[in-house]
């Protein structure tokens, strides 16, 4: 996969929408989106909306999730560099793992067994990337209690 990281600080917001456990918007511009996906056995999927022209990552949506656990502790935040993510290539990847862990203040979605060699924080989302640029995990931090409750409710419906 091919990502570009620019040093400007990215912003994000949690969106509470029925039927989707998790939506994080980095930009509310809806025109001309490309879509990328991380899938696991037709039971779990994360969708990325990317601006066709700028390649800016605009939205992350957990659309399907059957592999999840609830943890009664705070999410562990890895060391990261901060910036804005641009996705240069479209992708549709079948993950070898998919596990969503809902903590009291955040969420970790593991999508690979591989080792994360670096972490990039864009808004309140931290992408864990392997040496080969594979997304191995996505961590969403600083979520409020009502946002965590929304995720739990949508996961268990």
Q: Which residues of the chain have pLDDT under 50?
A: none
- Per the CB < 8 A criterion, the answer to whether 68 and 75 are in contact is no
Instruction: For residues 12 and 145, give the distance between their C-alpha atoms in angstroms, rounded to a whole number.
Output: 17
Tell me if residue 49 falls in helix, strand or coil: strand
Structure tokens at 58: 């605009």
Instruction: For residues 17 and 81, give the distance between their C-alpha atoms in angstroms, rounded to a whole number.
Output: 30
Instruction: For residues 153 and 37, give the distance between their C-alpha atoms in angstroms, rounded to a whole number.
Output: 23
Looking at every residue in the chain, the average pLDDT score rounds to 92
Tell me if residue 3 falls in helix, strand or coil: strand
From residue 30, give the alpha-carbon distance in Å to each of 20, 38, 51, 57, 68.
Answer: 18, 21, 8, 12, 29
Task: Tell me the per-residue pLDDT of 59-100, one tens digit each, with 9 for 90 and over.
Answer: 999 999 999 999 999 999 999 999 888 888 888 999 999 999
Please state, as a whole number, how many other Cβ atoms lie within 10 Å of the Cβ of residue 74: 11
């Amino acid at each position: 996969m091919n990502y570009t990281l620019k040093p400007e600080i990215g912003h994000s917001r949690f969106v509470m929408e029925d039927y989707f456990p998790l939506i994080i918007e980095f930009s509310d511009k809806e025109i001309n989106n490309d879509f990328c996906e991380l899938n696991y056995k037709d039971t779990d999927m994360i969708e990325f909306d990317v601006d066709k022209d700028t390649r800016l990552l605009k939205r992350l949506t957990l659309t399907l999730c059957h592999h999840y656990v609830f943890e009664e502790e705070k999410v562990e935040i890895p060391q990261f560099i901060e910036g804005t993510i641009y996705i240069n290539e479209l992708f549709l990847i079948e993950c070898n793992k998919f596990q969503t862990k809902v903590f009291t203040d955040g969420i970790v979605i593991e999508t690979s067994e591989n080792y994360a060699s670096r972490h990039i924080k864009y808004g309140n989302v931290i992408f864990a990337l392997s040496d080969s640029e594979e997304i191995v995990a996505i961590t969403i931090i600083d979520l409020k209690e009502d946002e965590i409750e929304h995720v739990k409710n949508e996961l268990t419906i």
